Structure 1
């Protein structure tokens, strides 16, 4: 993931490249529907659960800095180095990798996370087993750069294989579970070959000129994913990041960062996916930004498509401003998060919300508070979210529409200035029988007005449902 502070995000959205990238992630002409019946079944189930948790966690949390990207020698905002060795990349990388020797998250308790996420209404989890820096949050046999190495103080903890502990804890709450895995690895000598200085995020040699080096890296990647698919119980989703590791023929020249990819970096996804699905039948494979048979759903990052998309998709976004832990985070309000979820679901998507654990192995307490607030809303209004399909016109001004086949739901997304429903509201759809407001048992009076209805909201109901992030009308 790219580190995105609010100001950077605004600048990105206002830039032409940002527009082109957003546009490319809304295109669906290259989407390939899976042929495997087990994959299709799991994909349909995933589309029904709607709301998931993403966690970025690694040694970088000790410094409260961007995940991995400070190692990348690019002149971009999210790659900025800070600290006493920032002026020398080699010294900085050495110090960064020494964080392994002090990473000791003694408050790690994945059961608390899983319980909080379940009460929030989340239904699936994606955990970063390895980010671009190459530090492994699982007990890989392919490298010693891992949390279970004797170099890491947490290795003596009985829960040191944190990926295994997290997947078990969330399975215990009936979650679908997924493993985030970075295809590039900036620690591995066969990706950033020590003979050459790295110039950017890409492999630092031409794989066609050094095919043996690239073959070794492909085997390393295959073996690590094989471990994750073999040794960690049932896995539902393999979520692959680092989309510049891709066949050269798959580059989309309309996307700025893809135009800078200098080499063919074909990792042999057919081999990886074939092995993974042999170990995990029905596995969803998400090779992010690489359109084709190995991108079972698309993943716009920190953005929401401006229209309904007829393919499976998921917006991944941060609860605060950062993907990784920062000591003082600027968390989005529960109202904004709920309204984002409603908007996403009405456009046929899922919402994957990132929370970053800190160096001690805990979340900010404010993150728990946000989850509880979201859960309170979903406990009342969840029937308009789960197991629903978008309904035309999908989104219309402040309205969002879904249906479960038995009922239609019209969700009203109020502005910040609206604390309660007005005494009368115009609903742009007409009920065939009954009209109710979720959270209230009081019947509503309405009268038809053209293709809409004018609904009277009793004062008692206005007060009862005051302050909600969204109000949901149920039409049957």
Structure 2
């Protein structure tokens, strides 16, 4: 090859590489942000964990909105606070910060438990609505390094989780901070300008939320330019300082200007591109346009297969997000059934834990996680790296839809079945064990299933599975012994 031809080839390769890299750069426009593609690791992972743990955990009251509710006289948190700590103009939320010392927090112990649970991604709440950052923040003086635990919680967990091969998550809820505290109320410590670095600038009561003539919540006035600047700088600190693999946003981000939202997303995506990182950003609708990130539903799920990967965030408790003496965990069976249902519809489950204020994870929550991990160790081939089948499942139980709908969902029954596929294999996952000893699967009857079932393997069982494929259903004779305590996975060939 001549020198001229070699030089020409090199130039073409360089130009091609430059163009390819340029195509991956994001501009702060919705059109450019539509380049987002959910990475394979998220499609494969299926199960993750995050935590609601911070200053709001200290009172051990049943509300992660304690910092908001404690200032409203008609709320039980107000009564508790005034009886326990005193008047809210003398002992406000800021005065709880020194009590959040987390003396028993151990990031390695948490991470070991996450691994034992079978989770593939995990991480902390970086900043909740209360405005207290759990990282070494330069823009927010109210942070866990300068106050409270005097430790960088986000950094410690990031190191421990990544050391064990899991992807790292940080959740951000801080758009709620606008009007979160009643800075308009002179009878509270929130109105004192000296406390503005935590409680925010003085705003009218309507800045929290009011209802329009149609009953919809609205914010008035919308956030100030300074609030938006600080909100964005907090996001950038987390992105630059900790490079999470998944950055999770709570809802209400739509109160920020399009410019700020677009700048945040472009900044995060370009940071990931620069570091060759397979990055996920999740959001709740309608905070960002579809296609610019991965959709998350709170205590809610898709009613059927969704074409793009999606996320559900739910708590280990049906009613609570934070630890209190009143916290009751879901039965493990419900949690596993929910995971199976979500995965069958192309989703992932992000399960919230509620650590004790001292930094430990209570035993009842540990037990649930270990039982989930035991189930996944046996049946994970039908969950990890799986993809949806032609239909998500069958059975009489209809999951509820809408924001927080899972709080009113009682679980599945013996006739409910879900399907997944992996590497050409079909899995039928029974969410119950019929007392009759026969499991009928209508979707695999010869009139519905375009194929002949040749063999069936019940994962974890050495028994030979007897079955009959009839026109209206595939009937499986269940063996005498169950292979596990929860959802039962049949590999269909």
Which TM class, normalised by the smaller chain length?
0.7 to 0.9
CA displacement at 1:424 relative to structure 2: 2.9
Matched, 1:454 2:479: no
Matched, 1:274 2:266: yes
CA displacement at 1:118 relative to structure 2: 1.2
TM-score where L is the length of structure 1: 0.77
Distance 1:72 1:292, change over 3 A: farther
Are the equivalent residues in 2 in contact too, given 1:312–1:349 (CA < 8 A)? yes
- Tell me which residue corresponds to 1:140: 137
CA displacement at 1:88 relative to structure 2: 12
Distance 1:99 1:309, change over 3 A: same
CA displacement at 1:464 relative to structure 2: 4.5
The partner residue of 1:206 within 217, 221, 237 is 221
Q: CA deviation digits over 1:366-412, x for unaligned, max 9?
A: 11111111111111111111111111331201110111132100011
Matched, 1:240 2:249: yes
- Tell me which residue corresponds to 2:418: 400
- CA distance in 1 between counterparts of 2:292 and 2:73 reads 27
Answer with 441-450 or 340-349: which moved more. 441-450
Are the equivalent residues in 1 in contact too, given 2:117–2:370 (CA < 8 A)? yes
CA displacement at 1:68 relative to structure 2: 3.2
The partner residue of 2:47 within 51, 54, 69 is 51
Query: What is the correspondence of 1:73-88 to structure 2 with a 5 Å cutoff?
Result: 80-85=77-82
CA displacement at 1:441 relative to structure 2: 2.7
- Tell me which residue corresponds to 2:241: 231
Report how many aligned residue pairs link the two structures: 406
Distance 1:88 1:109, change over 3 A: closer
2:79 is paired with a residue of what secondary structure?
coil
TM-score where L is the length of structure 2: 0.74
The partner residue of 2:441 within 427, 430, 448 is 427
Structure of greater Rg: 2
Query: What is the correspondence of 1:185-196 to structure 2 with a 5 Å cutoff?
Result: 185=177, 186=180, 189=196, 194-196=201-203
- Tell me which residue corresponds to 1:412: 430
CA displacement at 1:113 relative to structure 2: 1.4
2:226 is paired with a residue of what secondary structure?
helix
Q: Which has the higher contact order (CA 8 A, sep 6+)?
A: 1
The partner residue of 2:230 within 220, 232, 257 is 220
Query: What is the correspondence of 1:287-366 to structure 2 with a 5 Å cutoff?
Result: 287-289=283-285, 290-292=287-289, 296-320=293-317, 321-366=319-364
1:280 is paired with a residue of what secondary structure?
helix
1:268 is paired with a residue of what secondary structure?
helix
Are the equivalent residues in 1 in contact too, given 2:136–2:152 (CA < 8 A)? yes
Distance 1:322 1:92, change over 3 A: farther
- Tell me which residue corresponds to 2:490: 473
Are the equivalent residues in 1 in contact too, given 2:50–2:351 (CA < 8 A)? yes
- CA distance in 1 between counterparts of 2:334 and 2:144 reads 35
Are the equivalent residues in 2 in contact too, given 1:346–1:400 (CA < 8 A)? yes
1:217 is paired with a residue of what secondary structure?
helix
Distance 1:75 1:369, change over 3 A: same
2:339 is paired with a residue of what secondary structure?
helix
Query: What is the correspondence of 1:143-158 to structure 2 with a 5 Å cutoff?
Result: 143-149=140-146, 151-152=147-148, 154-155=149-150
Distance 1:444 1:270, change over 3 A: same
Matched, 1:63 2:73: no
CA displacement at 1:166 relative to structure 2: 0.7
CA displacement at 1:422 relative to structure 2: 4.4
Structure 2: 5+ residue runs without aligned partners?
1-29, 182-194, 210-217, 396-415, 446-451
- CA distance in 2 between counterparts of 1:51 and 1:246 reads 27
- Tell me which residue corresponds to 1:254: none
Matched, 1:178 2:169: yes
Are the equivalent residues in 2 in contact too, given 1:273–1:294 (CA < 8 A)? no
- CA distance in 1 between counterparts of 2:168 and 2:363 reads 24
Are the equivalent residues in 2 in contact too, given 1:314–1:349 (CA < 8 A)? yes
CA displacement at 1:265 relative to structure 2: 4.9
- CA distance in 2 between counterparts of 1:356 and 1:89 reads 26
